[in-house]
Amino acid sequence: MLRALILQRIFSIPKDSLLIIFLKYSHKKLNGLDDSYDPYKAAYGAMPSHAGANPAVQQMYINGHFCYAFKFGIVTNGLGIVRDISFYNKNFLKAHPDIVVGKKSNSPDEDKSLADAKALIPVLKDFFKKHPLINPKIFLGDAAFDSIEIYSCLLQELKFEKAYIPLKTKIVSQGSDSDCPLNEDGIPCCPHDHSLPMRREGSKTHLRSGIPTMKFVCPKMKWIYNKETKKSKRVTLCENPCTKSSCGRMFYIYPEKNLRAYPGTTRGSEEWNCTYKIRSAVEKSIENFKHSHCIAERMTQNEKTLHADLLLAGITQLITVVIANKIHRHEYIRSLKPLIA
């Protein structure tokens, strides 16, 4: 898992920026502009891309707030335990010249997504280079990583088996049969009732090429056991079948044609929902970094001090894990304060 964190000195809009937003808002009212004009986006476009005191403090828009902050990436496991920390400083950018830094649009939300997405793959490649024996199979991330390029890199280049990333925009059906449309989760639906998704049944391929497939069957199909033959077979119980086959309609999808829609797992399924809940452990870990380890709301501008404190926070968490494991109190592996108490 990877989550971008912010080392912030002032998590608010500078006074000059407040003036810019006020002027843009007044401009909208005076000129009778419609709601398509966004004074926040206009103000964002007029604000400098970094702080005057330190170019490393970049302009950002996070959770509805403008801010100027240092940014770093943290990789954790499924328990929220830190495994690697990457500080997005000059050395990181020098090691990855393909990362383009700067304001790319007038949309603060879009710039945030681009920044997170650009940093993800370099951070993971650095991590696996430093830890060749670590071979995770599942990636969990937020919607900022929802792009075709990232899915391709995660599943094909970095060899993750599954990538759990929420969608930023709806899936566009590509090459599916017109009578079995795909719903918003990429699942084919019944030809006679498009609100009824078909059931997933296995993912093993029987093709000579070995290309993986996803098999979906009629939502009203059941396995019926024959006592005489001692075998089970598929039988559709649909009152208005769409095919003459007794087992009902079957539909095959080739995930490699659309990894965003089929990232090794089925969106909206029970497996998806249960697995993605694991991210709550990451969120709690981030809160501990911010508050228990005093990373958030800092006043220092010195990059070396911030970097050192961040590494010490990661070391503190790992020491907490070791102690909690030794005393068999695993509920405290991410919680420093209760462990001390």
Asked if residue 228 has pLDDT above 60, the reply is yes
The rounded distance, in Å, linking the Cα atoms of 8 and 310 is 12
The rounded distance, in Å, linking the Cα atoms of 127 and 272 is 25
pLDDT confidence of 303, banded at 50, 70, 90? confident
Q: Same domain for 244 and 298?
A: no
Q: Same domain for 24 and 85?
A: yes
Q: Same domain for 162 and 181?
A: no
- Last residue in a domain, options 257, 287, 319: 257
Asked if residue 253 has pLDDT above 70, the reply is yes
Q: Same domain for 17 and 164?
A: yes
Q: Could you read off the pLDDT of 238-249 as tens digits, one per residue?
A: 888 888 888 888
User: What average pLDDT score do residues 16-27 get?
Assistant: 50
The rounded distance, in Å, linking the Cα atoms of 235 and 252 is 18
- Mean pLDDT, rounded, of the chain: 78
Q: Is residue 268 part of a domain?
A: no
Q: Same domain for 209 and 76?
A: no
pLDDT confidence of 10, banded at 50, 70, 90? very low
Higher pLDDT pick, 106 / 258: 258
Rounded to a whole number of angstroms, the CA Rg of the chain reads 25
Q: Same domain for 163 and 178?
A: no
Asked if residue 35 has pLDDT above 80, the reply is no
Higher pLDDT pick, 268 / 174: 268
pLDDT confidence of 173, banded at 50, 70, 90? low
Q: Same domain for 148 and 234?
A: no
Strands 214-217 and 250-253: antiparallel
Q: Same domain for 13 and 148?
A: yes
Q: Which residues contact 308 (CB under 8 A, 6 or more apart)?
A: none
Q: What is the pLDDT of residue 19?
A: 46
The rounded distance, in Å, linking the Cα atoms of 187 and 189 is 6
Q: Is residue 263 part of a domain?
A: no
User: What average pLDDT score do residues 246-259 get?
Assistant: 85
Domain carrying residue 211:
174-257
Query: How many Cβ atoms from other residues are within 10 Å of residue 187's Cβ?
Result: 24
- Last residue in a domain, options 257, 287, 316: 257
Asked if residue 184 has pLDDT above 50, the reply is yes
Query: How many Cβ atoms from other residues are within 10 Å of residue 264's Cβ?
Result: 20
User: What average pLDDT score do residues 81-92 get?
Assistant: 86
Q: What is the pLDDT of residue 163?
A: 93
The rounded distance, in Å, linking the Cα atoms of 45 and 224 is 64
Q: Looking at the 3D structure of the chain, how many domains does it have?
A: 2
Tokens at residue 125, please?
């490649």
Least confident of 50-59, 203-212, 213-222, 309-318: 203-212
Q: Same domain for 162 and 30?
A: yes
Nearest of 296, 38, 274, 268 to residue 138 by alpha carbon: 274
- Last residue in a domain, options 257, 287, 311: 257
User: What average pLDDT score do residues 30-47 get?
Assistant: 68
Q: Same domain for 314 and 180?
A: no
pLDDT confidence of 304, banded at 50, 70, 90? confident
Q: Same domain for 144 and 11?
A: yes
Q: Same domain for 162 and 43?
A: yes
pLDDT confidence of 207, banded at 50, 70, 90? low
Strands (E), the chain: 2-10, 58-62, 65-76, 82-87, 138-140, 162-164, 199-200, 214-217, 221-226, 231-236, 250-253
| Three-state DSSP state, 114 | helix
Asked if residue 177 has pLDDT above 80, the reply is no
